[in-house]
Amino acid sequence: METSGAEFHASFLLNPASHWVLNNYLLSYSNLVFLSSSSSSSEGTEGRRLSWGQRISTTIGVAKGIQFLHGGIIPGLFANNLKITNILMDQNQVAKIGSYNIPILSETMKSEGGAGSKYPSDRVPNGDKIDMYDFGVILLEVVSGRPISSIYEVEIMKEQLQSALTAQGPSKRWNLVDPAVSKGCSDDSMRTVMEICLRCLAKEPTQRPSVEDMLWNLQFAAQVQDDSRSSEESPLSPSQQLHAQSAED
C-alpha cells in the first residue's frame, strides 16, 4: 500500500533505530510545500520560480531519496508510485519524498492464504526499474514545466524528446524547455538531463538506468550548469585576468 509520510510509523516496517534515518532522508513534518506540476514544476516555498540549477538540485534530492528507499533500509522499498505531487520541499528547498510504498505489518507477516501483496517489498519484479520510469516522468515535468496526467502524454513527449536529441543544433531541444529557465540554462546541462530522462523512460525495464547511474548524471548536469554560470560571471580566465590587471598597473 502507499502510505503518506505524515502517517508513517516505524512499527510498520522499521525498527526504532532506523526511524530517525528514514525521517532524515525522506520526511519533514513542518514547512513543507509540494513541488507540484500544477505550479509549473517551478515554484519554490514562497511562490518564486525555481532556476534550472535549483531544479536539478531538487531532482538530485529525489534521486538520493530513491537510492535510500532501495538500498538504505532492509527490506528495500520499490515500486513507490512516485509522482511530482508527492515531492515535498522544505523552507531550504531541500526535496523530500512524501509518499512511498510501505507494506504494513499485516502484509509482510500475513498467514498462508491471507490477503496482501503477492511479493515482498524487496522482491517486486523490476520494482527498482518501475521507480526509474516514474522518475523519468518527473524529469519530463521539471524540464517542460508542464503537468503530465497520462501515459499517452508521456509517450508524446518522449517522442518529441527523442527527436530533439537527435536533431542537429540545440533549437529543437529548447522548444521543449520551460521558458522560465531557458535563458539561464546551459545547453550541455539540459541535454544531459534530457538524455537520462529518455533512458529512464525506456520501454524495456532492463534498459533503464540504475539509481546510481541516474544520480551520477544529474550531479554531472549540476556541475556543468555551475561551471557555465561561473564562466558567465568571470569571462576571463585567471591568467587573462592577471594579464589585464598587469596592463592596468
Q: What is the pLDDT along the chain (249 residues), one digit of tens a residue?
A: 444 433 332 222 333 333 334 444 444 333 334 454 334 455 544 455 788 999 999 999 999 999 999 998 888 889 989 998 888 777 777 777 877 776 643 344 343 333 334 444 445 688 899 999 999 999 999 999 999 999 999 999 999 999 999 988 888 888 999 998 988 899 999 999 999 999 999 999 999 999 999 999 999 999 999 998 887 765 554 444 444 454 455
Alpha carbon 61 to its chain centroid, in Å, reads 7
Grid cell at residue 26: 525522506
* Prediction pTM value: 0.73
Contact 177, 190 (CB under 8 A): yes
Strands, DSSP E only, in the chain? Answer: 2-4, 33-34, 87-89, 95-97, 99-101
- Quickly name the fold that domain 2-103+126-232 has: Transferase(Phosphotransferase); domain 1 (1.10.510)
Contact 123, 23 (CB under 8 A): no
Grid cell at residue 18: 532506523
pLDDT of residue 92: 74
pLDDT of residue 185: 92
Work out the end-to-end distance of the chain between its first and last CA atoms, rounded to an integer number of angstroms.
71
pLDDT of residue 34: 41
| Rounded alpha-carbon distances, angstroms, from residue 213 to 17, 124, 163, 196 | 29, 21, 23, 9
Where b means 16+ CB within 10 Å and e means fewer, 135-169 reads bbbbbbbbbbbeebeeeeebeebbebbeebeeeee
